[in-house]
Each structure stands twice: as C-alpha cells, then as structure tokens.
Amino acid sequence: MADFKWYVIRVISGQEKKIKTHLENELKREGYDTRVNQILIPMEKVIQLKNGKKVAKERNYFPGYVLLEAVLEGELAHIIKSINGVVGFLGAKNGEPDALRPSEVNRILGKVDAINEAGDNVEIPFHINEAVKVIDGPFNGFSGVIEEINEEKKKLKVIVKIFGRRTPLELGYMQVEKE
C-alpha cells in the first residue's frame, strides 16, 4: 500500500482554485493521478453584512497555499513545481519537499471542519466610536455612535441623543448602517 503524506504547495495568492484545476488536469494527463489522493484548498464560510443583508461567502483560510495528499516519488514533485502559478513546496530542504506531521494535518483539517460547522461566522463590519444611523425599530432615523460590540449576541450598544440626552440603545447588526 502506498504511503500518502500531506504537503503544502505555495501558489500565487488569489489563484488557488485555478491552480488546483491545472494540477488535477496535468497529473491526470501525465498519469500521476493515482499517486495523488486529494488536493485541498482550505476554505471557511464567512457571513458579511452588505446593505443590511447577510451575504454568505467562502474565503480561503490559507491564502497562497494548497494542500496535497500524495506519494511524492520520482518526477511527481518536479511536475507539480512546473505548473504555472506554483511557487514551490513549503519547507523544502535540499530540494526535497517536507511532509506535514500528522498532528499538523489534524489541526488544519480539524480547524477547517470546525469553522464550516460553526457556520454563522459573521464578519463584524462595525467598530467602536463609529457613527451609525438606525434604520429599523422605534428609533429609525436617529444617528449615534457605537460604544460597545457584543459579538456573541450580535448586538451593538449605540449612544443616540434623544431630547438632548445621551441614551444607550441595544441594537442588532441589521438595525443600523454606517453613516
């Protein structure tokens, strides 16, 4: 039985998907696809707020890197390095690529799985002391300043002036927009 090991390939950032496709096609053409178990681009699901709406997006967890599980013998490493957009292998010593330790692989793959299971990983587009306008609820139209951000509850503590007094309001991310 072949001994598959994980390797990290450095690639041009932002072109990981394209390079992965090139890798798969080239390895199949050269007849090395049986020596490669899988090629992975670790992705995380991120939810951003755009115009008051939640937008789910996938983002590369390790930009500029692609994971490869393979038996790296003979010409295979050279073929991979010759693919357009591939910079080289991470941790290559004396021209020989270094395989990841099993603990590193488990940590990387476990972290990516945990992130995908967590799902609603909302990217907070707000900052403390930022001016915002209330767009929903009884205080619609009021302007204020963010004093606190509660990531767990996905709430903001916004200070608005009502009748000349500073009044704290607890509002959801979707109830305000940047001014």
> For the chain, what is the domain count?
2
What pLDDT sits at residue 117? 56
- Do 109 and 37 lie in one domain? The reply is yes
What pLDDT sits at residue 110? 74
Answer with the one of 86, 118, 150 that is the final residue of a domain: 118
- Do 144 and 61 lie in one domain? The reply is no
Q: Where are the beta strands (DSSP E) in the chain?
A: 5-11, 36-40, 43-50, 53-60, 65-70, 86-89, 131-134, 143-150, 155-162, 165-172, 176-178
Does residue 68 register a pLDDT over 70? yes
3 state SS of 28 = helix
Tens digit of pLDDT for each residue in 92-130? 777 778 888 888 888 777 766 555 555 555 567 788 999
- Give the mean model confidence (pLDDT) for residues 66-93: 87
- Do 113 and 147 lie in one domain? The reply is no
What pLDDT sits at residue 146? 93
Token pair for 76: 């295979």
- Give the mean model confidence (pLDDT) for residues 146-175: 88
Looking at the domain assignment, is residue 61 inside a domain?
A: yes
What pLDDT sits at residue 45? 77
CATH number, domain containing residue 144: 2.30.30.30
Looking at the domain assignment, is residue 74 inside a domain?
A: yes
- Do 98 and 20 lie in one domain? The reply is yes
Looking at the domain assignment, is residue 99 inside a domain?
A: yes
Does residue 156 register a pLDDT over 80? yes
Tens digit of pLDDT for each residue in 9-66? 999 988 999 999 999 999 899 888 888 888 998 887 777 777 667 777 788 888 899 9
Residue with tokens 């002391």: 129
- Do 69 and 154 lie in one domain? The reply is no
Give the domain extent around 108. Answer: 5-118
- Do 79 and 35 lie in one domain? The reply is yes
- Do 143 and 99 lie in one domain? The reply is no
Looking at the domain assignment, is residue 126 inside a domain?
A: no
- Do 113 and 141 lie in one domain? The reply is no
Looking at the domain assignment, is residue 125 inside a domain?
A: no
State which amino acid sits at residue 174.
M
